[in-house]
Amino acid sequence: MNDPTNETSASLDFIREAVKDDLAEGKFDHVQTRFPPEPNAYLHIGHAKAIWIDYGIAQDFGGLFNLRFDDTNPAKEEQEFVDAIIEDVKWLGADFDDRLFFGSDYFEQMYEWAVDLIKKGKAYVCDLSPEEVSKNRGTLTEPGIDSPYRNRSVEENLDLFQRMRAGEFADGSRTLRAKIDMASPNMNLRDPVMYRILHQDHHRQGDKWCIYPMYDWAHGLEDSIEGVTHSLCSLEYEIHRPLYDWFLDQLGIYHPRQIEFARLNLTYTVMSKRRFIELVNGGYVKGYDDPRLPTLAGLRRRGYTPEAIKEFCRRIGVAKTDSIVDYAVLEDCVREDLNKRAQRVMAVMNPLKVTLINYPEDQNEELNVINNPEDPDAGTRKVPFSRELYIEQDDFREEPPPKYFRLAPGREVRLRNAYFIKCVDVVKNDDGEVVEIKCMYDPETRGGDAPDGRKVKATIHWVSAKHAITAEARLFDHLFMKPDPDDVEEGKDYFSNLNPDSLQVSTCYVEPSVMEAQPGTRYQFERQGYFCVDTDSTAEKLVFNRTVTLRDSWAKIEKAMNKARK
């Protein structure tokens, strides 16, 4: 077993401290955790935090990690989500080995335990409708009202429960409820429902069952069956913990320990399955893997790496109270990771033609260029160079403002990895717009400085016009304009804060080294940002998603706008 206690006590979060203490006190002799998603949606970045807490703690203490689907609601669950979740967990690097479990495989054991509680007088069949159950539940200041069916005999309850399972009753006509305390200050202990009737096929069990366990009943039983030692949940389940404990104690079965942690909240986005559905169904985004969504499928498609997400989870840590994390923290993590691993290429987004008038018209050459200065093992590539080039429009000003050091009439700059060039003429169209600049190149400056020692103040990127690959660039920004999407004017909803510029599509020109790139390949477009080849790419056209800019331009623009408003 690994020993995280070698670290100083102050370096351990409160969950690891609790696990360490449990082992020291002999409450458990090993550690086993689980990630228990319901297969009714795609996972998002908040789930990644939960996975890395569960898996990370198992790793730190030399324990085991389970992936268990809490598939107890056939009305919302689909095999599509099961497959997607398995893919996401594997992609993150959380190794569950052969410990893939399904709560539905335990339905028979759960049923037998429910019968055991009935026999102990701790559960009863209730004929109240869901609306009546809710009405009789009481409030935080008023006790609930006992169900008129609360004191049915054990024999009658056993008979009715068996008939519920046999399918004799209509959906919602009866439930099995725990008999606890209708006056409890904890509303979850006011005779909670354990089973409901639902005549609907299950994605895994087919039509075998027409009664299905509620989450609070199933959760602890699943943990107990699997031998989980520490059941780690988000903070909203803290108030459910007494019920988790009550069921296990009444049954007298193996009892894991539940510990809660704060869930993840991010600025400029939403973290809700319901809202994901609204955004997709409303056409505001293009599917659950839209790169603007914080789903793991969306982040993966955008170009995020598992390593960047793991580092993000490490940085934000494990807390007991909810907080909001700035999206910039996540972006910084992927920048740092891609800076180390992404191959550099040159790409031009807004092209301006450059003609080197003293370069031979029929000449082509190949320049040897380093793939990644951060990775000596990344090697080099050949980049073609010719008489006609594209540069960025922003890299030329006919009348340069102060402190603008890039190309201008009479000014010399360096082409990255190539030559010094000097602007000698400007070509305009009938509207007076610059459409081409003519330059002289210095053949003595290939790949380095000028032999006579003269200096230039700017280096710009370029692509050879006749060799460049024409591609589509999708430039993503925050999905919402405000850090809190719910910060709205009266009478409006969060849709009013959607960013109309969260996706901009343009044509770009990229050096030909990317020609055979496959979906998922990541690059740094020099001076532009990090990009990933999208799954929409075809043999005829590559599509690149911008993962993140090189700098936090959004924050700079927002700061300038706020200053202007004042």
Q: In terms of domains, do 65 and 46 share one?
A: yes
Our CA dihedral for 109, 115, 116, 119, rounded to 10 degrees, sits at -170
Examine residue 330 and state whether it is found in any structural domain, yes or no: yes
Closest to 130 measured CA to CA, from 172, 98, 183, 67: 172
Q: Which of 411, 441, 461 is the last residue of a domain?
A: 461
pLDDT of residue 18: 97
CATH number at residue 396: 2.40.240.10
CATH number at residue 154: 3.40.50.620
Examine residue 466 and state whether it is found in any structural domain, yes or no: no
Structure tokens at 449: 């400085």
Residue 72 vs residues 290, 340, 418, 435: alpha-carbon distances, Å: 28, 43, 63, 64
* Contact predicate 342/372, CB 8 Å: yes
Question: Do β-strands 420-428 and 412-415 pair in parallel, antiparallel, or remain unpaired?
Answer: antiparallel
* Contact predicate 72/111, CB 8 Å: no
Structure tokens at 120: 């102990």
Instruction: Report the DSSP beta bridge partners of residue 530.
Output: 524, 548
Examine residue 113 and state whether it is found in any structural domain, yes or no: yes
Please name the residue that has the structure tokens 């009479």: 410
* Contact predicate 69/39, CB 8 Å: yes
Question: Cα(270)–Cα(310) distance, rounded to whole angstroms?
Answer: 20
Residue 323 φ then ψ, to 5°: -150, 170
Examine residue 267 and state whether it is found in any structural domain, yes or no: no
Tell me, what amino acid is at 476?
A: F
What residues of the chain score a pLDDT lower than 50? 7-10, 554, 557-558, 561, 564-566
pLDDT of residue 218: 97
Q: What is the tens place of the pLDDT at every residue in 484-508?
A: 999 999 999 999 999 999 999 999 9
Domain region containing 411? 347-461
pLDDT of residue 49: 96
The DSSP code for 256 is: -
Q: In terms of domains, do 45 and 64 share one?
A: yes
Q: In terms of domains, do 27 and 101 share one?
A: yes
Question: Cα(237)–Cα(258) distance, rounded to whole angstroms?
Answer: 9
Q: What is the tens place of the pLDDT at every residue in 427-464?
A: 999 999 999 999 999 999 998 888 988 999 999 999 99
Closest to 111 measured CA to CA, from 239, 205, 243: 205
Residue 54 vs residues 19, 49, 265: alpha-carbon distances, Å: 12, 9, 18
The set of residues, in sequence order, having a beta carbon less than 8 Å from that of 10 and lying 6+ positions away, is none
Examine residue 145 and state whether it is found in any structural domain, yes or no: yes
pLDDT of residue 562: 54
* Contact predicate 475/503, CB 8 Å: yes
Active-site residues: which are they?
38, 263, 273
pTM: 0.91
Cα torsion angle, 160, 165, 168, 172, sign = positive
Q: How many domains does the chain have?
A: 3
Q: In terms of domains, do 399 and 508 share one?
A: no
Examine residue 266 and state whether it is found in any structural domain, yes or no: no
Q: In terms of domains, do 537 and 518 share one?
A: yes
pLDDT of residue 1: 54
Q: In terms of domains, do 110 and 70 share one?
A: yes
Structure tokens at 1: 């077993």
* Contact predicate 146/193, CB 8 Å: no
Examine residue 226 and state whether it is found in any structural domain, yes or no: yes
pLDDT of residue 553: 52
Q: In terms of domains, do 179 and 246 share one?
A: yes
* Contact predicate 388/354, CB 8 Å: yes
* 374-383: long-range contacts, CB 8 A cutoff, minimum separation 24: 374/339, 374/340, 375/340, 375/341, 378/343, 381/343, 381/513, 382/513, 383/346, 383/417, 383/464, 383/511, 383/513
Question: Cα(299)–Cα(8) distance, rounded to whole angstroms?
Answer: 34
pLDDT of residue 447: 85
Q: Which of 435, 461, 487 is the last residue of a domain?
A: 461
* Contact predicate 212/20, CB 8 Å: no
pLDDT of residue 7: 47
Q: In terms of domains, do 248 and 278 share one?
A: no
Q: Which of 203, 233, 261 is the last residue of a domain?
A: 261
Q: In terms of domains, do 75 and 203 share one?
A: yes
Q: In terms of domains, do 22 and 135 share one?
A: yes
Closest to 486 measured CA to CA, from 268, 286, 262, 264: 268
Examine residue 433 and state whether it is found in any structural domain, yes or no: yes
Q: How many other CB atoms are there within 10 angstroms of residue 562's CB atom?
A: 9
pLDDT of residue 10: 45
Question: Cα(514)–Cα(383) distance, rounded to whole angstroms?
Answer: 11
Q: In terms of domains, do 280 and 400 share one?
A: no
* Contact predicate 133/144, CB 8 Å: no
* DSSP reduced 3-state for 349: coil
* DSSP reduced 3-state for 396: strand
Closest to 541 measured CA to CA, from 509, 563, 495, 494: 509
Residue 85 vs residues 6, 51, 280, 519: alpha-carbon distances, Å: 34, 11, 19, 20
Q: In terms of domains, do 248 and 315 share one?
A: no
